Structure 1
């Protein structure tokens, strides 16, 4: 059954809905709850895997589908969704990168799916998206990688980042996209070619019967570009990178660490919430 709602609010997590701790502030929870009570559909559209975003989904009290891995996975957490989807990468690509780890300057190579996490070893303490200690059944090798993953994440020696990206594009560029993360680490993500956050955003808006003009998408980083462009109202955070601000229809008056999303919902979208 297709549901009808007046507007869709699409939320990036890091640097947007989450503060710098990272956590969801009480004011943000209040504002999102008020938006839902007033008939808005609120969905998370994040680069994070589901394993480290479902806690925020639950914290916000959402019951809508969630988009993970920058558009490569769409699920309804804790429930079945008839439009659930995933885009995966051939295992042979993973094995090629793993075998060439040393010459490509790879420190950490991790692959993930909805219910899969494998890595060549634990992450360094400063690299917080991945566990520092992995179980024996989480070690990445030919035997443990039984299914095609959704995402390959590679942490590299800083001087090796550009050459790794060039190698991957030259050898597998017809089937994958290669994109660096923002932030201080030399991290690159490999995903299915042509799939972006806008892919998931379109699935959501079609599912709920919401026009493009009625989509409000909040983001701050390069991986938000497609959904900021796709949405009728692409809203960049005050702390967003310049290229995102340039394509946005509006910019919040406050940063993610100053409840920027919550304040925007109240001040610019007339969502009644006590802030």
Structure 2
């Protein structure tokens, strides 16, 4: 079979409901990498909370973080690495107006650093629950432009925050509301989605669109699955994603649905 790019969302797709990789998934992905396919994680997660998953799989291929705003090869200097930044001004502006906008926590990140106005125990994996003094979000500590911002807000203020961001920064900032039970808004550079990172990786390896297979389960996977040669929604995916996908896995993420689908599709024996 021709070399494929296998584009993998993490949460709800490659990971089970405990946010873990199973042995079956690891063995399957390693076998595909050994066969010459490019296995790439394409996630909304920051690098700091995706690195251990990349290392556990044991791949050496490019990875996409922040929904397409960072593409790099972990642990390597890759001359094709790129990021798409926001501005320091935006972060400090939101920080200054957080009370009137009903913002509880602002988390600001780039590849290797995270800053926040306060620690949070609400989502310990995604929002830092401990901060060093130099990680507290201030004009002094934030010395460079961030790649992504995550805002936890009072639910009744959602539209107000989006309106404030769009009015002042809408020409280059895109607010996206997290799905599920969380009152979280993510800010990334306008037009930056997972599919931009996916196509960038495909270009580096000269892989045609029809040889890109992408897997996902949530709203932030829509563009990627729609653009891939073969977009596969997980059995547990939202209906909107299933409606645009080329296929749906028969089994969900909690029962190795991704690994089983890949083994059948690529005829991998483990």
Q: Give the alignment's TM-score, normalised by structure 1.
A: 0.95
CA–CA distance in 2 between the matches of 1:202 and 1:128? 28
SS at match of 1:80: coil
Alignment check: 8 A CA contact 1:237 1:251 kept: yes
Determine the structure 1 residue equivalent to 2:170. Answer: 173
Determine the structure 2 residue equivalent to 1:112. Answer: 109
Determine the structure 1 residue equivalent to 2:189. Answer: 192
Determine the structure 1 residue equivalent to 2:3. Answer: 6
> Structure 1, residues 29-71: CA drift from partner, whole Å, max 9, x if none?
1111111122211000000010110100000011001000000
> Structure 1, residues 195-234: CA drift from partner, whole Å, max 9, x if none?
1111101110000110000001000111111110110000
CA–CA distance in 2 between the matches of 1:86 and 1:47? 14
CA–CA distance in 2 between the matches of 1:270 and 1:169? 48
SS at match of 1:83: coil
CA–CA distance in 2 between the matches of 1:160 and 1:127? 23
Alignment check: 8 A CA contact 2:235 2:249 kept: yes
Q: Structure 1 residues 128, 184: closer, same or farther in 2, change over 3 A? A: farther
Match status 1:216 vs 2:213: yes
Q: 1:148 aligns with which of 135, 145, 148?
A: 145
Deviation at 1:127, TM superposition (A): 4.8
Match status 1:88 vs 2:91: no
CA–CA distance in 1 between the matches of 2:208 and 2:3? 9
CA–CA distance in 1 between the matches of 2:124 and 2:113? 19
Determine the structure 2 residue equivalent to 1:49. Answer: 46
Which segments of 5 or more consecutive residues in structure 2 lack a partner in the other structure?
A: none
CA–CA distance in 2 between the matches of 1:80 and 1:27? 30
Determine the structure 1 residue equivalent to 2:127. Answer: 130
Determine the structure 2 residue equivalent to 1:259. Answer: 256
Deviation at 1:24, TM superposition (A): 0.2
Q: 2:241 aligns with which of 238, 241, 244?
A: 244
CA RMSD of aligned residues (A): 1.1
Alignment check: 8 A CA contact 1:38 1:271 kept: no
Determine the structure 2 residue equivalent to 1:78. Answer: 75
Number of aligned pairs? 269
Determine the structure 2 residue equivalent to 1:233. Answer: 230
> Structure 1, residues 140-160: CA drift from partner, whole Å, max 9, x if none?
011111000000100001111
Which segments of 5 or more consecutive residues in structure 1 lack a partner in the other structure?
A: none
CA–CA distance in 1 between the matches of 2:122 and 2:95? 22
SS at match of 2:45: coil
Stretch of structure 1 that moved more, 163-172 or 59-68 = 163-172
CA–CA distance in 2 between the matches of 1:132 and 1:77? 24
CA–CA distance in 2 between the matches of 1:220 and 1:166? 28
Deviation at 1:128, TM superposition (A): 3.2
Deviation at 1:125, TM superposition (A): 3.9
